[in-house]
Structure 1
């Protein structure tokens, strides 16, 4: 695998040079300051490349070109936004970038109730508390009809939890859930979130799936023409939230997407953390199933705190949690071996150590939540060790 590292640009408290010292081969980044729906300017793409090169690496992966809510709902300037997405692909290709990650989650992208939850040994990790989230939905957001989405016992627990919350916790919970994509300045106040939810009235799961296919029908041919692989990130967490449908949460969801747009350029960002929060997802089996179409890998581990789905979970250490990371990496190495035998130019699949617990000096650095320096360095070192061991000639995966 090719080891990459997410970098949020000059505002990131973890530098490109830090990433190089951690052992990264390349950088994953995006132009977070460009408004969603706009074309990425050529000079801004070149500027980001220069910033990365100044740290000793190359910008290799885009994560992400945001897909606008207009595209997802097919309202407003959605056709213009698709055209702009296509043009951005063309410009990135000219710049030499060959992999673009995106997601199709409505309104809320990744969602956590705690951005710096204290673990058993004092590290800080991101966490999703199911009851806190329901308390937010019922008593802070006060979404119309929300109680119908939960059983009576869950509603009672959420009411008790809400009564125990002080004002600081209520404010923090609202901010955490309303946060935008990592690295983005976007975020939602409660009134803004309510307004965005209203735009999805009447959009069923099946309709949102069709909108995804409509989007891919337009952008995949352009990706093919310019030599870029586009890859859809799974829902995080992988279940419906706030009455919104989610459509990339399971093997069945990805099977539908890949079957409807049957092109190598249309592929998967395989995130073990997002998919691993859903107990029914068999991750090694999913890698085997989708291996030829997996273009980007996020390796992280979550610990599910309940047997049910949805569940509470937190970001565990990379080799802990509920995902068998050794088995997952073994599947990826087998796929890379198969690709080399086929002569595929993309036989080396880029991966990044996704998220990480804040440990040691991370605790005072103030980096983007989930993206510490030392926590990710530790994760990358552990993952690299598994890869190196499994790639040894004795085991036949190298």
Structure 2
């Protein structure tokens, strides 16, 4: 597996020269920032990003993410135009030699946490989620915002989105996802790009909005609907592992041929819909991370993997979940698991 790390561009507090010093880390996962989802990426913009990464002695291995416009998720009359824009962005990425694109299909809200600086007994801080806090959100407040959301929503904006999604249940959202895939996967095949769909995070409905990339049955339906190797998955152990009914070991084996990218992190579940993010070391959480990563290393040896969401440790400050120190520790833990799996295979 190719060890990588998420990098948020020149404004990231974590610098490329620091990532370059992490043993076995050869690749960066990044994206163009500040571009509205209705505007296509340009080859020049992707080239500049790639050159920045390569000048630091690293490789731009994965684009994470090209945004999927809400019009596509809603399936409205503008979705054809938005799909064309998405394909144009794919063309820009492919022209610069990048072969893997991560994306998600979560309506309105991206990954969601209720606290991004939850103190742990050892003095570090981490990300956590409590369903009761979501349920108590004042949706008619002057501004609605939670950690992980790219923007805050005014009551008028949220009301408009709720009206637009009122007729969209999980079945319709699933149909809209399949429509999108049927349109873009042939283009991805033409361009030689692997699409890697990220699971919902957390993997259940938020504020009444449906989510359809949450369970093994969801993933099987999506892969069966468009049975093309260029339509695949980002296997996120933290997102999928937040649900106690997801068997990650079984899912890794079942979906291995279509797993194009791996996010590896550990969560501790406190109840069915409450969890904390914890150190990558397997025994600290519920995800069986060591066993899952070793199985993925055996079945998907050539896919990129990155440590996902670290704690803030040793007094570090910065983007929650994306500090340097704990993710570097996570990268070395993951590399040890991968080395152990390959060593076992070599002795067999």
- Per the TM superposition, whether the score is higher than 0.5 is yes
Q: How many residues align?
A: 345
The answer for the alignment partner of 2:2 in structure 1 is: 2
Instruction: State TM-score, norm by structure 2.
Output: 0.95
How big is the alpha-carbon RMSD for the aligned residues of Structure 1 and Structure 2? 1.8
* Structure 1 residue runs of 4 or more that deviate by more than 3 Å after TM superposition: 394-398
C-alpha contact (below 8 Å) 1:200/1:244 kept by paired residues? yes
Distance 1:397 1:63, change over 3 A: farther
Offset from partner CA, 1:316-344 (integer Å, 9 cap, x none)? 111121011121022112213xxxxxxxx
Query: Which one has a larger percent strand, Structure 1 or Structure 2?
Result: 2
The reply to whether residue 382 of structure 1 matches residue 327 of structure 2 is: no
C-alpha contact (below 8 Å) 1:6/1:27 kept by paired residues? yes
C-alpha contact (below 8 Å) 2:110/2:148 kept by paired residues? no
Pairing partner for 2:290 from 326, 329, 333: 326
The answer for the alignment partner of 1:341 in structure 2 is: none
Which secondary structure state, in structure 2, belongs to the residue aligned with residue 351 of structure 1? strand
Taking the TM superposition and a 5 Å limit, the aligned residue runs for 1:247-266 are 247-266=212-231
The answer for the alignment partner of 1:109 in structure 2 is: 110
Pairing partner for 1:349 from 303, 318, 322: 303
The 2-side partners of 1:370 and 1:178 are apart by: 10
Distance 1:83 1:264, change over 3 A: same
The answer for the alignment partner of 1:317 in structure 2 is: 279
The answer for the alignment partner of 2:139 in structure 1 is: 141
Structure 1 position 368, deviation (Å): 1.4
The answer for the alignment partner of 1:153 in structure 2 is: none
Which secondary structure state, in structure 2, belongs to the residue aligned with residue 175 of structure 1? coil
What stretches of structure 1 of length at least 5 have no aligned partner? Answer: 144-169, 181-185, 337-346
Point out the structure with max Rg over C-alpha: 1
Query: Which one has a larger percent helix, Structure 1 or Structure 2?
Result: 1
C-alpha contact (below 8 Å) 1:26/1:59 kept by paired residues? yes
The reply to whether residue 278 of structure 1 matches residue 243 of structure 2 is: yes
The 1-side partners of 2:181 and 2:211 are apart by: 17
Distance 1:64 1:178, change over 3 A: closer
> 39-48 or 230-239, which moves further after superposition?
39-48
Which secondary structure state, in structure 1, belongs to the residue aligned with residue 145 of structure 2? helix
The reply to whether residue 13 of structure 1 matches residue 13 of structure 2 is: yes
The reply to whether residue 193 of structure 1 matches residue 193 of structure 2 is: no
The answer for the alignment partner of 1:38 in structure 2 is: 39
The answer for the alignment partner of 2:314 in structure 1 is: 360
Which secondary structure state, in structure 2, belongs to the residue aligned with residue 176 of structure 1? coil
The 1-side partners of 2:105 and 2:99 are apart by: 20
Taking the TM superposition and a 5 Å limit, the aligned residue runs for 1:52-71 are 52-71=53-72
Structure 1 position 102, deviation (Å): 0.3
The answer for the alignment partner of 2:170 in structure 1 is: 205
What stretches of structure 2 of length at least 5 have no aligned partner? Answer: none
Offset from partner CA, 1:46-81 (integer Å, 9 cap, x none)? 111122123221211000000000110022522111
The answer for the alignment partner of 2:199 in structure 1 is: 234
The 2-side partners of 1:79 and 1:189 are apart by: 28
Instruction: State TM-score, norm by structure 1.
Output: 0.83
C-alpha contact (below 8 Å) 2:28/2:59 kept by paired residues? yes
Structure 1 position 142, deviation (Å): 4.5
The 2-side partners of 1:178 and 1:356 are apart by: 14
C-alpha contact (below 8 Å) 2:104/2:198 kept by paired residues? yes
Structure 1 position 397, deviation (Å): 8.1
